[in-house]
Amino acid sequence: MLHNQKIIFVAIVDNQSNTVPDLGLRIWHHECLIHDLLKKEVCLIGRKTYDITKWKGAQTWVITRNRNWKRHKINVIHDTDDLHLHTEGPIYVLGGTTLFKQLETCVDEIHMYIANNKDGTEEWISLDMNKWAPTNFTNEGIWSYAHLIKRKSRRKK
């Protein structure tokens, strides 16, 4: 949670394998989810991801450190701590490693799409699976999908 808003991270990990050229834009299940989120939900996108995908919706926010960066009809924010001032409800983060690391302690759920290729070189995040509960997993051969929910921490008495 970030300022009492649920943070749901949506990522695609292609690991630079080039199994399928431009795979990040070609997993249909991922594209359908992104399309639905952009129409209905508050979405936060890193500037690099935006520059590559041009994803936008009425409630989409692009985060960048560059105070001069502007795009027509794109909401821009420079600090994640200010997002709650402009939005309500859960926030879907459509991004990569940099944005995940910035929000890592606040992420409540992860939707992760992974290219299944052992030859890839891109390192993504390292998750402590004792802190995450898988609720859904699909293996489609060339790619896999996992939905993870952060486990509630147990309080010691």
Model confidence band, residue 91 (pLDDT cutoffs 50, 70, 90):
very high
Q: What is the mean pLDDT of the chain?
A: 83
**Cα maximum dimension of the chain:** 53
Q: In this structure, what are the phi and psi dihedrals at residue 117, rounded to the nearest 5 degrees?
A: -145, 120
- Which of 88-97, 119-128, 139-148 has maximum average pLDDT? 88-97
| Residue written as token pair 């409630």 | 59
Say what the pTM is.
0.83
Q: What is the pLDDT of residues 108-128, one digit of tens each?
A: 999 988 776 665 555 566 788
- Per-residue confidence (pLDDT) for residue 88, from 0 to 100: 92
Q: Which CATH number is correct for 7-145, 3.40.140.10, 3.40.430.10, 2.60.120.200, 2.130.10.10? A: 3.40.430.10
The arithmetic mean of pLDDT across residues 136-152, rounded, is 86
For the record, the structure tokens of 112 come out as 């992760």
Query: How many whole angstroms from its chain centre is CA 110?
Result: 7
Q: What is the pLDDT of residues 13-64, one digit of tens each?
A: 765 555 445 544 457 788 889 999 999 999 999 998 898 889 999 999 999 9
Query: What's the CA gap between 152 and 25, in Å, rounded?
Result: 33
